[in-house]
Structure 1
Amino acid sequence: MTTDRPVSIQEQAMRFGTYMGVFWIIKFIFLPLGFSFPLLQLCFVLCTLFVPVLGYLYTRKFRNTCCGGTVSFSRAFLFTVCMYIFAAMLTAVAHYIYFQFIDQGFLMDMYRQQLNETMQMVQGDLANSMEQIMIAFDTVAALTPIQLTFQLISQNVFYGIVLSLPTALLTMRYKK
């Protein structure tokens, strides 16, 4: 027995958020590997730049398949925010597993090494700025895996909300 109930925003946001989260996890894999293979660092950057495009494509697909081709700004915004939240939650699991069991300080050591190399090349006022950056970096490096995961999830949700505004503006469509 089937029921023809309307598809909820939450269901669709979970579905597309899962797709986005898997994309983010694959993108995150490129980050540590990029220190050994620079082409993967480029892939990480390109995938990061593709995230808003993917969010737009998913929101447009939501509009066209679930909303009959029309969606208000508020509905598109809510869908997009929820999609990014669900993606951030899924990605947080991968971040925690990576930082708790796999990383063992590798990522922070590689960034510290790059910062040290940059500090050696910089002179004058920039050297003072680099020292401040190094102090801030040491603060981040002292975070536990769970603290780092929460930092990343809040960052992903914040940027998701910011990206949701233009996405909703671009995808909203009213009946004529």
Structure 2
Amino acid sequence: MNKYAMQFGTCMGIFWIIKFALFPFAFTIPFFDFLFLVLTIMIPFLGYYFARNYRNRVCDGGISFTHAWIFTSFMYMFAALLTAVGHFVYFRFIDNGYIASSYLEILHEPGIKQQVVGDTLKQCEEAVNLFSSLRPIEITMELLSFDVIFGALLAFPIAFIVKKKELITMNNNQEENNQEEDNKE
């Protein structure tokens, strides 16, 4: 099971890295924001696709809820580990505060200031400043934790949908033995 969870998790992790690569561009190009959202919505469907393939190809068409949940959770965990490498590389070598400064720019736009009620703007600014004070490894660990928890929770509905009782098949020898026993009686 781990072998297949790693293989499918690697594919899912590459998908997540490609999806994350679009995120910084979403601040300036609206199409990438839309594409990022669409790819995010595709994650559970891709998880279902991989879990169904595992059920049909490896488990001979049948899998219990627990087995499906463990497999799907492991798949998301392996995807999260691979994605964490991409997150670390981005925040350590590429970002240089770009995401935090982009959020601050958005918060200081005139239209946003008019829509914000009370201390919400100040709290958002504090959150962005806190985010910008984190080291790349701390940001990566936060995102890794979120991805693993999100994957374990997302695995529940996927496992419920994927579970299927094992098909009982009899080979020709078993059928002949059963027919002989029926004939003797």
Structure 2 segments unaligned to the other structure (5+ residues): 168-185
- Segments of 5+ residues of structure 1 without an aligned counterpart are 1-8
**Corresponding residue number in structure 1 for 2:142:** 151
Aligned length: 166
1:88 aligns to what?
A: 80
How far the C-alpha of 1:113 sits from its partner, in A, is 1.1
Q: Does 1:56 align with 2:48?
A: yes
Q: TM-score by structure 1 length?
A: 0.90
Alignment partners' CA distance in 2, 1:159 and 1:120: 32
Q: Which residue of 2 aligns with 1:135?
A: 126
Q: What is the CA distance between 1:137 and its match in structure 2?
A: 2.4
Identity %: 39
Residue of structure 2 in register with 1:20 after alignment: 12
Aligned AA for 2:120? Answer: S
Counterpart in the other structure of 1:78: 70
Q: Which residue of 2 aligns with 1:4?
A: none
Query: CA–CA distance in 2 between the matches of 1:113 and 1:162?
Result: 34
CA distance in 1, matches of 2:113, 2:130: 21
What does the per-residue CA deviation read over 1:18-73, in whole Å, with 9 as the maximum and x for residues that have no partner? 00000000000110012222101110010001001100110011000000000000
Alignment partner of 2:115 out of 100, 118, 122: 122
Give how far 1:134 is off: 2.1
Alignment deviations for residues 113-162 of structure 1 (CA, whole Å, 9 cap, x no partner): 11222652235xx2312322222222122110000000000010111011
> What do you get for the CA RMSD once the two structures are aligned?
1.3
Partners of 2:166 and 2:84 in 1: CA distance: 38
- Letter matched to residue 163 of structure 1: L
- The answer to whether the 8 Å contact 2:113/2:121 transfers is no
Runs of 4+ in 1 over 4 A off after TM superposition: none
Equivalent-residue separation in structure 2 for 1:94 and 1:45 (angstroms): 19
